[in-house]
Structure formats: structure tokens, C-alpha cells
Amino acid sequence: MKVYLFSLGAGVLVGVIYHLIGVRSPAPPLIALVGLLGILAGEQLVPLSEQYLIGAIRSTVTRASDGATTASGSLQHGISRVTAARKTARNEEARS
């Protein structure tokens, strides 16, 4: 039922916008096609921006954690290279 109400609300909103910009309803074919193209672009914009932002955040966190591991250094704290490699492998498994 919510979908129908949202659809009705969107239709009313478009009708108001058509009235404000002086387009008769139903819209001429070219204006209607441009509007449909805008609707399709808007549908794809949200998922694409979410993927981009999540990917950017994930890569920033990965670089920051790799930088922290490198900055602490295995030799500075007396940790053997094998132990450091095991810790790095566990960190990578935990991130996955």
C-alpha cells in the first residue's frame, strides 16, 4: 500500500512542477522522455554513490591500518618477522 501512496505523491509533485514551469499534461513526447531519463538516472545515482563512498571509506581504512602496521615496525618492538607476518595475516582475515 505504501508504494501506491508514494507513487500518488510523486505524481502530484510532478503535476505541481509541470504547472509551475508551464508544461501541459500529458507532456510532449520529448519532455516526457527527458523526464523518464531523469528518473532512471536518479534511480541509479543513489546505489552508485553508496558504492563509491563505501569503497572510498574501505580503502582509506585499509591504507590507514597498513600504515599503522608499517609505522610501528616489527624490529622496533623486538617482534620477529614471522610473528609480524602472522599478525598481518590475522588482520587481513579479520578485515575480510
List, for residues 26-42, the tens digit of each pLDDT value. 667 777 778 788 888 88
- Domain spans of the chain, in order of start: 2-95
Query: Of 30, 1, 25, nearest to 13 (Cα)?
Result: 25
Q: What does each C-alpha distance from 78 to 5, 47, 68, 70 come to in angstroms?
A: 66, 46, 16, 14
pTM here is 0.37
In which band, very low, low, confident or very high, does the pLDDT at 72 lie, cut at 50, 70 and 90? low
In which band, very low, low, confident or very high, does the pLDDT at 74 lie, cut at 50, 70 and 90? very low
- Considering only residues 40 and 72, tell me which one the structure prediction assigns the higher pLDDT: 40
List, for residues 12-70, the tens digit of each pLDDT value. 888 888 788 887 766 677 777 787 888 888 888 888 888 888 887 887 777 766 655 55
